[in-house]
Amino acid sequence: MKLPVYIGLLDEAEATLASSFRVVADGHGDEPDVHFILQTFAKKCDAHREALKPVIDRYGEDIEGEEEHRLTANGVKEVRSGPLALMLDLQDLYVLVNHIDVTWMMVGQAAKGARDTELQGVVEQCEGDSELEIRWLQTRMKQAAPQALLVAE
């Protein structure tokens, strides 16, 4: 059974996303909405990891073949500078969130197959959060794009 591999992936991806949110939040302190909302999102990632803990305890960690199973979505380690910086950094977060979103979907499918109601509950909560994060990132990038691409220097 390979579900534990994916649960481990999720845990790691949430940790990566949390630190990426915090890097972008800190690096764009001059954009107060970005700064504060990404901190809120980072806390949500922390909460998702908390919620996963009992599930991980039950299934155990399967680290066999960890390297080959790891996806290529890396976290944001530092913010960019220049007129496109905010948009590109948000776009990186967008990729990370979408990666997590689809991972939750797949784990959710397996949880249904396994009739694991506890895991289903966790998935439901976390999927809602990633969907909100995607919508917010889209809203903010829509706002930023014309100015950044047409007039910023």
Partner 1 sequence: MTDRIADIWGERTPHGSGQAWPERVDQVLAEGLTDGDVDRWVQSACVLCSNGCGCDIAVKDGKLVGIRGRAQDRVNRGRLGPKGLYGSWQGEEHPDRLTRPLIRVDGRLVETDWDTAMGRIVERSKELLASKGPLSHGFYTSGQLFLEEYYALGMLGKAGIGTPHMDGNTRLCTATAAAALKESFGADGQPGSYTDIDECSAIFLYGHNMAETQTVLWSRVLDRLDGPNPPRLVCIDPRDTEVARRADVHLPVHPGTNLALMNGLVRELFANGWIDEDYIAEHTANVDQLRSVVEPWTPEKVAETCGVQAADVRRAAEIFGTEDRVLSTVLQGFYQSAHATASACQVDNLHLLRGMLGRPGCGLLQMNGQPTAQNNRECGADGDLPGFRNWENPQHVQDLARLWNVDPGIIPDWAPPTHALQIFRYVEQGSIELLWISATNPAVSMPQLERIRHILDQDSLFLVVQDIYLTETAQYADVVLPCAAWGEKTGTFTNADRTVHLSEKAVDPPGEARSDLDVFLEYARWMGFTDKDGRPLLDWSGPEDGFEAWKECSRGRPCDYTGLSYNKLRGGSGIQWPCTEGLPDGTERLYTDGGFPTAPEYCESFGHDLLTGATTGETEYKATVQPGKAWLKALDYTPPHEEPDADYPLRYTTGRTAYHFHTRTKTGRSRRLNDAAPEPWIEMSVEDAARAGCQEGDIARVTSRRGSLEVPVRVGDIRPGTVFAPFHYGYWDTSDGDTSDGGPHRAANELTITEWDPVSKQPLFKNAAVRVEKLRSGDGPSKAPDTTASRRATGAQR
Is position 139 an interface residue for partner 1 (rule: CB under 8 A)?
yes
Q: Which of 31, 62, 101, 127 binds partner 1 (CB under 8 A)?
A: 31
Binding characters for partner 1, 64-103, by CB under 8 A (x = yes): -------------------x--------------------
Distance in angstroms (rounded) separating the CA atoms of residues 6 and 107: 7
As measured in angstroms, the least distance from the Cβ of 25 to partner 1 is 11
Is position 142 an interface residue for partner 1 (rule: CB under 8 A)?
yes
Distance in angstroms (rounded) separating the CA atoms of residues 88 and 93: 9
- Structure tokens given for 12: 């790691």
Distance in angstroms (rounded) separating the CA atoms of residues 98 and 122: 17
Distance in angstroms (rounded) separating the CA atoms of residues 16 and 5: 16
Is position 47 an interface residue for partner 1 (rule: CB under 8 A)?
no
Centre a 10 Å sphere on the Cβ of residue 138 and count the other Cβ atoms it contains.
Answer: 12
Task: Give the interface with partner 1 as residue ranges (CB under 8 A).
Answer: 30-33, 36-37, 40, 83, 132, 135-136, 138-139, 142-143, 145-147, 150-153
